[in-house]
Structure 1
Amino acid sequence: MTEKLFYNDPYLTQCEAEVKDIINKDGKILVVLDRTPFYPEGGGQPSDRGELNGIRVLHVYEEDNVIYHQVEKAVEDKIVLCKIDFHRRFDHMQQHSGEHLLSGAIFKLYNGNNKGFHLGEDYVTIDIDIDGMTEEMLRTAEDEVNSYIYKNREICTYVVSKEESKNFPMRKQINVDEDVRVVEAKDMDCCPCCGTHVLRTGEIGIIKIIKSERYKGMTRIYLNCGIRVLKDFQNKQNIISNLNRHLSSDENNLLERVENQSLEIEKLTKELKSLKKIIAESEAKNIIKAENSKVILRKYEDKSFEDIELIAAALSSKNFILILSSLKENKILFMNDSHSDISCGKLFKENIKVFNGKGGGNAKRAQGSFENKQDLINFSQFLNRSLTENN
């Protein structure tokens, strides 16, 4: 059994410990200590990381009251200096304590129960057994939980028997017979928990709900606490400042400026599409005038694949076979709008890979893309030869 120092003092960053065992299991090196400051993964909280005598601790987990430290390489000394990554530990303490308080606020306000908790690298999620919490409900809960933080009250932990636990106002039922660890912030939240927590609510700093979504008949809430909220605010502030400079605006008028620009872009996009269609129709007329063959072979250096599709549309119902290439995007369009029984898709399937291309289609239309311009040109010439030979 490993002595769990992280429960006695969650702020302990280092200590000496005796190596009791070293195990090689499934290609991993596991170290067992007589005592440890490293929190093992459990209860929705990831494990601590750090070092044993300078050797990296990659993961920590517990089985049968024994804590296993997965290390980068074997430990040679009998006595080791354990150092935890306290930045990671404190982040987890902020997130876990914040999650408790938010769950307590939602339970108090709406009688909603926390049915799931995950502490990830980027955000925390909780699943509340209320189907479709509204934005107003979430904002009210967010205001309530942050009021708990501002009170800077003590967060206490107790190890009690199942019978003694009945004296605590817990929002979760206990389904175990052995002693249970209770985490309580008086008049805010109280529930069984095996994780590490801050000593006072003020250390959480702030809690921000990021978003919510419906999940299996419940509401999944995404949130962050403490330093994560500060970093997120700094990132968003940087984005807003850059947008202000780019749009010559300020944050109060930024949304209106963006909306106006979006409307202008939408208008210009429609005008551009209309002009492109006119240009495509003009190109189609020139092709019809210049061509004597039913097979039209054209390659364009400055037109996109969308442009050549417009040209093809303008040539539809004109009894042509089209081989149109966009050298700008290394793409080809092959269409049979004639009475010929040539299958576009079959020709692609049987030959395009020889030219380092990929694509396909049906009897009347096929399209493909190529690694380089020359492969595209070679394939288009191959298609033209094949059609000439068949006719």
Structure 2
Amino acid sequence: MLKRWNEDAFRANLSGRPDLRINRDRYEGRTRLLGKIRTKLLLSGERGQPADRGTLNGVSVLDVQLQEGDVWHLLDSPLLENEVQGEVDDVIRTDHAAQHTAQHVISAILQDEFQIKTVSFRTGTEESTLDLDLGDWDETLQSRLEERLRTVIQANLLITATEYTEEEALQLPLRKTPQVTGKIRVVQIGELDYSACGGTHLASTSELELILFTGLEKVRGNIRLAYVAKDRAFRLLTTERRVLTETARAVSAKKIRSILLWKT
């Protein structure tokens, strides 16, 4: 089961909390709500993955962004109340968490077992990408990676997120040196990966279910690898199977028509 970004309900009396304020200005035709809120319900989109979606008092949240310490919620319509009740779209959050978790797993395997470092990554709305410090990619490497991914998914490795002091965090086998100081949130995937990360993740590797690679290109001397995970991967398989079935039927019908014309 996916752990929420914040276990507390997002409910705040904006007139009674000094760290909360509303700024109902207009931005590209939409209303923006600015709330400096301690207990954030919605994840903003600055951690390499898209922002959460959800509602505030039933009004759809179209985007959430962190700007200079302030959390902006782009709303579909004005929010008139001073007390806010929020709800996360768990379907979208789970999807984002799955793609982000897949990135952790892919990067860990590539670095530890193939000595290939991830330069950057992006979690997209359709597919996600990894930019790898690598000049060439071949089918043998991809086959070995896919085999290891299946093993890790089947191993059902526990995924946890724990806050440490900076001193404690630096004692862990972190994949990269943290870019923040003070309290550091470390995401651990079994013994496969320890990464300082503020994003959302699944509870175990088995929840990934399936990872498929969808594209490959060379960008600025690096290899860009595209992928989809979990429900996106199954939707892709369903779509491709339907296309193949329809193509086969069309080819078969064309052959039958050709035979009939030849006989006549």
**Class of the TM-score when normalised by the shorter of the 2 chains:** 0.7 to 0.9
Give distance in 1, aligned partners of 2:209 and 2:76. 34
Question: Where do 1:1-391 residues align within 5 Å?
Answer: 6-9=4-7, 15-19=10-14, 20-25=20-25, 27=27, 28-32=31-35, 34=37, 35-248=39-252
Q: 2:6–2:40: 8 Å Cα contact kept in structure 1?
A: no
CA shift at 1:42, angstroms? 1.1
Q: Is the 8 A contact 1:6 1:36 kept in 2?
A: no
**Given residue 95 of structure 1, which amino acid in structure 2 is its aligned partner?**
Q
RMSD: 2.3
Q: Whole-Å Cα distance in 1 between the matches of residues 72 and 10 of structure 2?
A: 17
Give 1:24 shift.
3.9
Offset from partner CA, 1:237-272 (integer Å, 9 cap, x none):
1011112222239xxxxxxx9xxxxxxxxxxxxxxx
Instruction: List per-residue Cα deviations over 1:99-151 (Å, max 9, x = no partner).
Output: 11011110122111111111111100011111112221122112212211111
Q: Please, which runs of 5 or more residues in structure 2 have no aligned partner?
A: 15-19, 256-264
Moved more, 186-195 or 58-67: 58-67
**Counterparts of 1:74 and 1:98, CA distance in 2:** 37
Counterparts of 1:176 and 1:194, CA distance in 2? 10
Q: Do 2:212 and 2:227's aligned partners in 1 also have CA atoms closer than 8 Å?
A: yes
Q: Distance in 2 between matches of 1:78 and 1:176?
A: 33
User: Aligned equivalents of 1:73 and 1:248: distance in 2?
Assistant: 52
Q: Which has the larger radius of gyration?
A: 1
SS of the residue 1:21 aligns to: coil
Q: Distance in 1 between matches of 2:147 and 2:45?
A: 31
The secondary structure found in structure 2 opposite 1:157 is strand
Q: How many Å separate the matches in 2 of 1:53 and 1:108?
A: 46
Secondary structure class of the residue paired with 1:70 = strand
> 3-state SS of the aligned residue for 2:243?
helix
Question: Which residue is equivalent to 1:284?
Answer: none
Of residues 16-25 and 222-231 in structure 1, the stretch that sits farther from structure 2 once superposed is: 16-25
Equivalent residues, number: 244
1:239 counterpart SS class: helix
Runs of 4+ deviating beyond 6 Å: none
Shift of residue 15 of structure 1? Answer: 4.3
Q: Which amino acid aligns with 2:161?
A: T
8 A contact 1:18–1:33 mirrored in 2: no
C-alpha contact (below 8 Å) 1:40/1:48 kept by paired residues: yes
Q: What is the TM-score of this pair, normalised by structure 1?
A: 0.58
What is the aligned-residue identity percentage? Answer: 24
Higher helix share: 1
